[in-house]
Amino acid sequence: MMNHANAETSRRAAAILREFLPGGEIGSVVAGNVLRGGGVTLELVNPADGLLFASFADAGASVVDAAMQAARPAQQQWWSLSAAARGRAMWEIARLVRQNAEVLAELETISAGKPIRDTRGEVAKVAEMFEYYAGWCDKLHGEVIPVPTSHLNYTRHEPVGTVVQITPWNAPIFTAGWQIAPAICAGNAVVLKPSELTPLTSLVLGVLCDRAEGMPRGLVSVLAGAGPTTGAAAVAHPDTRLVVFVGSAEAGAQIAAASARNIVPSVLELGGKSANIVFADADLARALVGAQAAIFGGAGQSCVAGSRLLVHRSIHADFVERLAKAAARIPTGLPTDPATQIGPINNRRQLDKIDGMVRAAVTAGARIAAGGACPEALRDTGGFFYGPTIIDEVGADAAIAREEVFGPVLAVLPFETEEEAIALANATPFGLAGAVWTNDVGRAHRVAAAVRAGTFWVNGYKTINVASPFGGFGRSGFGRSSGREALMTYTQTKSVWVETAANPGVAFGYVG
């Protein structure tokens, strides 16, 4: 059933979009144009009130093809520039992001439901991502290899060509910047397909890429469309040379299979069920705040959320009681309010999934120590709110202890020994992140080494930075984004052999 339109939010979103898209009409951003889709109508709902505020037509295969056609010459032009010129153009993108930061944050808050204090921070991070990789453009070079023959042998890190990037709804512009910046730094063109639930800020970022001085039009296209139609057409396109996917394991498996059919490599950044381990010797006041930040930031809609709290049995009861009291005090409310720390869930389906998993945990014998429903004061908003929830007395085999909720729901499991904590931390198929809180330095390093996860924090949680590699172990995916490592994801290495001998022989077969 269609929701009634919310006139004020629609007006504000349309006013922002008009600054970037002709007439404010939502369509795919391709080579400086906005292309209207040919598919079914997709609706955008404001998570804070549950009301429709905009709609657009699914892009479909012909718009995907237009983006691919634009990408090829743009990529050739881009790669023919000097590395320093590419860096300058990327600085320009960063400048435009900073210049438009406030409207980008506002648009993200309307469409993703994220608190404005978070979206302001995330937009600033996007600018940093382009600045960081701008600096890498003229530092990405190969090496000379001391081969035993008379050759000069050197490597070149060349772009792969056109990269398809597919992103989810939980941190739309942050994830778009996180992926676009290293891809173009390495000399590639990008065709990005953001989630059909939250495409707006990614479309605006595409416009800013086109507007930046020195950027070839068509180097970065952004598709407004759904996964199984527009996304699948981009993955299967013959010009696609690499697919980078951020999202659920289910969609990731389909996309990796479709990429393989196209003889194209894929990078998967999937979900997690990360363990936040608190030992009795930790600074418990800090661990208490850290445990809240780990799970309740972004209303738990974060791939690295610390959704399992493993706490030493000697402090378990007291720690959970203090945590429950603190959770009830976290400002939860409208995402446009600068004081709000927990906003709504992004969409109705996700809200229902979260509530269903909490109900199932209770049926299985767990105890709700905090939350477990929409907060009383927010019931009449129509928004997709869910209070910060702590579930105690969870069995290690229970679904709530093993499966990703992607919401503000913390499952608590006590442990007795370091070995048991490590075993519990590793008792999921995921391996995205984790943390340990302890003042024992040896234990900190032992646990950091033993937990299977792509990112691990000691006495902290959730710090990530564009300079540091990020990615998953196990079912959390493969390949690395950010840092220098991402540049290897986005390049292919060529080995060049130059004969330097005065009178070389030409041998048949392999030499060297």
- Partner residues linked to 410 by β-bridges: 390
Residue 355 neighbours by CB distance under 10 Å: 18
The full 3-state SS of 156-199, as one line of letters, equals EEEECCEEEEECCCCCHHHHHHHHHHHHHHCCCEEEEECCCCCC
Candidate ranges 62-70, 248-256, 332-340, 501-509; the one touching ligand NAD (CB under 6 A): 248-256
Q: Residue 300 gets which letter from DSSP?
A: G
Nearer of residues 231 and 371 to ligand NAD, judged by Cβ: 231
| Binding flag, residue 169, ligand NAD (CB under 6 A) | yes
Candidate ranges 103-111, 116-124, 230-238, 362-370; the one touching ligand NAD (CB under 6 A): 230-238
Angle between helices 116-136 and 101-112 (to 10 degrees): 120
* Beta carbon of residue 372, minimum distance to ligand NAD (angstroms, whole number): 22
> What's the rounded Cα separation, in Å, for the pair 234 and 179?
16
Length of the chain: 512
Q: Which of residues 453-482 bind ligand NAD (CB under 6 A)?
A: 472
Candidate ranges 94-102, 137-145, 190-198, 411-419; the one touching ligand NAD (CB under 6 A): 190-198
> What's the rounded Cα separation, in Å, for the pair 275 and 401?
10
76, two tokens:
């050739």
Selected catalytic residue, list 137, 185, 209, 303: 303
CA distances from 171 to 122, 223, 425 (A): 8, 17, 26
Q: Which of residues 271-300 bind ligand NAD (CB under 6 A)?
A: 271
279, two tokens:
């030992």
> What's the rounded Cα separation, in Å, for the pair 294 and 309?
10
Answer for which of 35, 166, 190, 422 binds ligand NAD (CB under 6 A) is 166
Amino acid at the residue 494: K
Size of the site for ligand NAD (CB under 6 A): 29
| Binding flag, residue 303, ligand NAD (CB under 6 A) | yes
Nearer of residues 254 and 492 to ligand NAD, judged by Cβ: 254
* Beta carbon of residue 82, minimum distance to ligand NAD (angstroms, whole number): 33
| Binding flag, residue 168, ligand NAD (CB under 6 A) | yes
Nearer of residues 168 and 216 to ligand NAD, judged by Cβ: 168
Amino acid at the residue 399: A
Answer for which of 107, 251, 361, 394 binds ligand NAD (CB under 6 A) is 251
Amino acid at the residue 227: G
| Binding flag, residue 195, ligand NAD (CB under 6 A) | yes
Pairing assessment for the beta strands 151-159 and 240-246 based on DSSP bridges: unpaired
Answer for which of 33, 248, 381, 492 binds ligand NAD (CB under 6 A) is 248
The full 3-state SS of 251-273, as one line of letters, equals HHHHHHHHHHHCCCCEEEECCCC
| Binding flag, residue 406, ligand NAD (CB under 6 A) | yes
> What's the rounded Cα separation, in Å, for the pair 262 and 256?
10
Selected catalytic residue, list 92, 106, 131, 269: 269
Answer for which of 183, 235, 264, 447 binds ligand NAD (CB under 6 A) is 235
Answer for which of 29, 68, 219, 246 binds ligand NAD (CB under 6 A) is 246
Which residues are within 8 A (CB) of 170 and not within 5 positions of it... i.e. 6 or more apart?
A: 112, 298, 301, 302, 303, 346, 406
| Binding flag, residue 371, ligand NAD (CB under 6 A) | no
Alpha-carbon dihedral sign for residues 97, 101, 105, 108: negative
* Beta carbon of residue 227, minimum distance to ligand NAD (angstroms, whole number): 2
* Beta carbon of residue 248, minimum distance to ligand NAD (angstroms, whole number): 3
Which class for 328: exposed (0-12), middle (13-18), buried (19 or more C-beta within 10 A)? middle
Nearer of residues 39 and 87 to ligand NAD, judged by Cβ: 39
Nearer of residues 133 and 470 to ligand NAD, judged by Cβ: 470
Angle between helices 83-99 and 101-112 (to 10 degrees): 70
* Beta carbon of residue 255, minimum distance to ligand NAD (angstroms, whole number): 5
* Beta carbon of residue 356, minimum distance to ligand NAD (angstroms, whole number): 15
Candidate ranges 96-104, 251-259, 292-300, 488-496; the one touching ligand NAD (CB under 6 A): 251-259
Nearer of residues 132 and 169 to ligand NAD, judged by Cβ: 169
Answer for which of 77, 254, 336, 459 binds ligand NAD (CB under 6 A) is 254
* Beta carbon of residue 276, minimum distance to ligand NAD (angstroms, whole number): 16
* Beta carbon of residue 256, minimum distance to ligand NAD (angstroms, whole number): 10
305, two tokens:
């959320």
Nearer of residues 171 and 334 to ligand NAD, judged by Cβ: 171
306, two tokens:
């610390």
> What's the rounded Cα separation, in Å, for the pair 436 and 425?
10
| Binding flag, residue 247, ligand NAD (CB under 6 A) | yes
Distance of CA 251 to the CA centre of its chain: 14
Nearer of residues 103 and 235 to ligand NAD, judged by Cβ: 235
| Binding flag, residue 387, ligand NAD (CB under 6 A) | no
Catalytic residue status for 303: yes
Nearer of residues 120 and 237 to ligand NAD, judged by Cβ: 237
**Spatial CA neighbour of 320 closest among 374, 372, 373, 391:** 391
| Binding flag, residue 190, ligand NAD (CB under 6 A) | no
- Location of structure tokens 């210049």: 99
Helix (H, G, I), strand (E, B) or coil at 152: strand
As annotated, the active-site residues are: 269, 303
> Rule CB under 6 A: which residues touch ligand NAD?
166-170, 193-196, 226-228, 231-232, 235, 246-248, 251, 254-255, 269-271, 303, 404, 406, 432, 472
